[in-house]
Amino acid sequence: MPLGAVVTGAALTLTGGIPAQAADGSAGGQDEALNTAALKTATVKVSDTETAKITRKATAKASARYTKKVKATASVTAWSTRTAKATRSVTVTTKATDYSTALAEAKKQAKKKAHERAKSAAIAEAKKQAVANSKKKAKHRAEQKAEKLAFDKFGKEVVADAAKLKGTPYKWGGTTRSGFDCSGYVGYVMRQSGVTHLSRTSHAMRGDTKKISKRAKKKGDLVFFANSGGKVYHVGIYAGSGKIWHSPGSGRSVTKADIWTSSYTVGRVA
């Protein structure tokens, strides 16, 4: 980086007078150090600006609880690169028998020190920013990952619990393993994974969920079927690959089936 030097002061310092010569031409009995007629002092201030680019990583852990019974933990490492600039000024004073020598030495020392200090400060600041940002990124990504893992875990558990009830007979108003209607079956399965807030009927149950797009549906989501007036008449649990687990109706039993119509909506339990 460019360096600037400014002479901020100069002084002539006398350390002793010039002694009279002896008869033999010697300097007489004065101390040898005093033979220097004068020392000149030069003071120089130099400022230097340096830039540093640093990459640092950080690892963060996060946990997410989808229900009281379903929880997941994720660990994520994130990298961040930051650039920082720093300016430092250094003042150096030197002495020499002549001013030009003192000035040159002062400039040389000041340039070196200003460069080193500015570079060190820039590196320290860049490190600080990079670490802070990578920690922030890692935490955010870990939270997102934990939430996804928790829901995926929830979906797998729900589908597994739904499958265990295969063959259970349909029973109007049924909510136990002796027999289920469609909403009774869904409510029973969901309670096994800690979901306790769902309403009893399929129509009311839809209001207890968050509507999501058909394309975004995942295992464990609820699939609602409604008539032309919008009244929900049936509900099942999405099992993946376009299929649902449901209790289909009188004379039948819990089974996995293809979604048979495009007239359905999808809800996700909170």
Q: Are 194 and 69 in contact (CB under 8 A)?
A: yes
Q: Are 53 and 130 in contact (CB under 8 A)?
A: no
Q: How many CB atoms lie within 10 A of CB 207?
A: 11
Say which residues have a Cβ less than 8 Å from residue 60's Cβ, sequence separation at least 6: 75, 76, 78, 135, 138, 139, 141, 142
- Does residue 246 have an active-site annotation? yes
Among residues 177, 148, 173, which one has the least CA distance to residue 162? Answer: 177
Among residues 199, 187, 175, which one has the least CA distance to residue 236? Answer: 187
Q: Which of 115, 140, 197, 246 is catalytic?
A: 246
Q: Which of 115, 140, 197, 234 is catalytic?
A: 234
d(CA 184, CA 248): 12
Q: 33: exposed, middle or buried (C-beta count within 10 Å: 0-12, 13-18, 19+)?
A: exposed
Distances in Å between the alpha carbon of 105 and those of 12, 42, 101, 216, 236? 16, 9, 6, 72, 86
Long-range contacts of 60-65 (CB under 8 A, 24+ apart): 60/135, 60/138, 60/139, 60/141, 60/142, 61/142, 62/139, 62/142, 62/143, 62/145, 62/146, 63/146, 64/143, 64/146, 64/147, 64/149, 64/150, 65/150
Q: Which of 140, 182, 197, 203 is catalytic?
A: 182
Residues acting as catalytic residues: 182, 234, 246
